[in-house]
Structure 1
């Protein structure tokens, strides 16, 4: 179907003829042989991981605070509801003005996009804890730190893992358009660069690589972050 749509059904002068499978495969081989694809993939993955790390370092503690404190929850709910509905890419002009050109704006946009699933997943996990567990811990004179480490953190682990997996998908989607804005490396930049040269075969080749990497990242997240089931007795 791909070959028919881009070869048989397209007009001879159409640029879509460049996106036929045979041309895309050659473009992909050329990107690999020149080392461009490996370099830009490594840069994109670096930005993704740093952005996710920042989102986790902010989202998990903040989610615990909001979930455990009713006062903090009442104060933070309007702000969270307001900020999380703003598109991360709308922060681009301010981000570039603050951080300049380079990886920092991209990492910031990834962190802004990924922090909300982590934060909300943590809050949901805290709210799902059976209050009886906390009552028992308090009756045994457990300190707040002991309650946190012995009751809260084990109980919210699954929700935090689900939030991180969801954040990974959102961050990967935001990464590509963020790399089209004032950077000279990364997979998003390669799409923009190939488009400017009217090299649509390379555009589709990089898109295919982005889809394949996204699938592999989600598969890795499922394997690493999936909740472990206890063996049946």
Structure 2
């Protein structure tokens, strides 16, 4: 491990330590020792988090939420990548679809919640739709940007070798845009993780968002804060995984 890497890790840890210090200081300065704020303290939160790790139900909620994330991401890839390839390869199609796509992209996925619930009912289906709707835009736009940034000489070489459209797509275009797709995936995961929690308050009986509501209804405020912390940790891990995939692809290229 290089000195720069170690230095980066130490700086990152110091930033997290500073965040924890602000949390501790905020509760200490603005809270009351025996009041409600004591349940949101650092000690109470980490104690509840440790207790939660000993409960099997927590892992069920984590698995259910991660499943929804991956299904939503898969659906977004299924739609976003082909759409991005088409938009990126045709200036006319790009000009025709950009206003509509930009209009839809600016609508918060959460604003569709009442409509989707009326059409699909409660359960996983509306959550999958909302997550896919949220994730499709960064994937599509990054894929289209990757197509536009392809070296024209690659396409000319493919044409000069009499490659079919399918061969050009499979051997030139797709390998050339994978890095951009992975960038879109990383951005999409960040959006999905933010949208997931309110989506899981749509009447489902499992998931991290559902468990947040459950802790609130039970007045288990230290558990609620522990769940907020856990959601942040899981989101951080997902982002690190996506970032690692992107860096590995860049190094391999």
TM-score (norm 2): 0.85
1:185 partner SS: coil
Out of 86, 101, 124, the residue aligned to residue 103 of structure 1 is 124
Aligned length: 231
The within-5 A match list for 1:1-233 is 1=21, 2-7=23-28, 9-12=30-33, 14-226=35-247, 227-229=249-251
Structure 1 Cα separation of the partners of residues 252 and 131 of structure 2:
35
Structure 1 Cα separation of the partners of residues 24 and 140 of structure 2:
44
Structure 2 Cα separation of the partners of residues 63 and 9 of structure 1:
50
Structure 2 Cα separation of the partners of residues 17 and 115 of structure 1:
41
The 8 Å contact of residues 16 and 200 in structure 1, kept in 2 or not, is answered as: no
Further displaced range: 220-229 or 76-85: 220-229
Runs of at least 4 residues off by over 3 Å: 1-5
1:28: how far off?
2.0
- The runs of 5 or more residues in structure 1 that have no matched partner are none
| Bigger fraction of residues in helix | 2
Further displaced range: 143-152 or 121-130: 143-152
The 8 Å contact of residues 64 and 123 in structure 1, kept in 2 or not, is answered as: yes
- Compared CA separation, residues 148 and 182, structure 1 to 2 (3 A): same
Instruction: Kindly provide the CA deviation profile for residues 125-165 of structure 1, in whole angstroms up to 9, marking residues without a partner as x.
Output: 00001222212222222211111112111111111111111
Structure 2 Cα separation of the partners of residues 58 and 23 of structure 1:
44
2:250 partner SS: coil
Structure 1 Cα separation of the partners of residues 101 and 252 of structure 2:
35
1:224: how far off?
2.0
The 8 Å contact of residues 117 and 126 in structure 2, kept in 1 or not, is answered as: yes
